[in-house]
């Protein structure tokens, strides 16, 4: 008799449902331990740190809108470049804003399935890679995807953000 996988956490299940609702067949996996850094995530799934999609939520300082930046795991986001792409100054969002805008806590922000519509920017460097891994709603949940799928599932704009 084979063992079935344990059920996903509520947050990870919401991401799995969002993937299915958008027609993607990706499978969310939950690891035994949280992976709070890109390095931890890469070690856990056996990939290079660059292949980890870091999701950062920023806040437009003029409009107050959420801005989701999907960046390569080895890159640091340049706020001036993001501001230029957004057309307004931006700042890192506080945890309360992140939770309200996405429906998820920092450390598990997925590229889709958010509580509100946000402008999404995708790091151009991700397009040169394959076998990306993105957070899936919880610090120990991820799913594997390709760069073109990231663009398709987010409707994001590919630009230079690092």
pLDDT tens-digit series, residues 96-105: 999 999 999 9
Whole-number pLDDT of residue 36: 83
DSSP state string for 17-58: HHHHHTT-----EE-SS---SHHHHHHHHT--GGGEEEEEEE
pTM to 2 decimal places: 0.94
Whole-number pLDDT of residue 2: 46
10-159 classified as CATH 3.60.20.10: no
- Count other C-beta atoms under 10 Å from residue 10's C-beta: 9
Whole-number pLDDT of residue 1: 43
**Below-50 pLDDT ranges, the chain:** 1-2
Contact 58, 79 (CB under 8 A): yes
Whole-number pLDDT of residue 5: 66
When the pLDDT of each residue in the chain is averaged and rounded to a whole number, the result is 95
Chain segment 75-92, per-residue pLDDT in tens: 999 999 999 999 999 999
The β-bridge relationship of strands 52-60 and 119-123 is unpaired
Where exactly are the structural domains of the chain? 10-159
Task: Please identify which residue in the block is written with the tokens 């993937």.
Answer: 19
């Amino acid at each position: 008799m084979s063992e079935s996988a344990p059920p996903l956490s509520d947050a990870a299940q919401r991401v799995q449902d969002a993937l299915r609702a958008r027609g993607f067949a990706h499978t969310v996996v939950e690891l035994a331990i949280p992976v709070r850094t890109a390095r931890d995530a890469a070690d856990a799934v056996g990939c290079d740190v660059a292949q980890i999609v870091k999701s950062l939520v920023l806040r437009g300082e003029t409009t107050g809108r959420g801005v989701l930046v999907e960046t390569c795991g080895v890159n640091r986001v340049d706020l001036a470049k993001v501001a230029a792409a957004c057309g307004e100054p931006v700042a890192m969002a506080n945890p309360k804003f992140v939770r309200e805008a996405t429906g998820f806590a920092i450390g598990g922000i997925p590229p889709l399935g958010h509580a509100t519509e946000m402008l999404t920017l995708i790091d151009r460097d991700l397009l040169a890679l394959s076998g990306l891994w993105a957070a899936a709603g919880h610090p120990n949940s991820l799913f594997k995807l390709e760069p073109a799928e990231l663009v398709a599932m987010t409707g994001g704009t590919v630009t230079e953000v690092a």
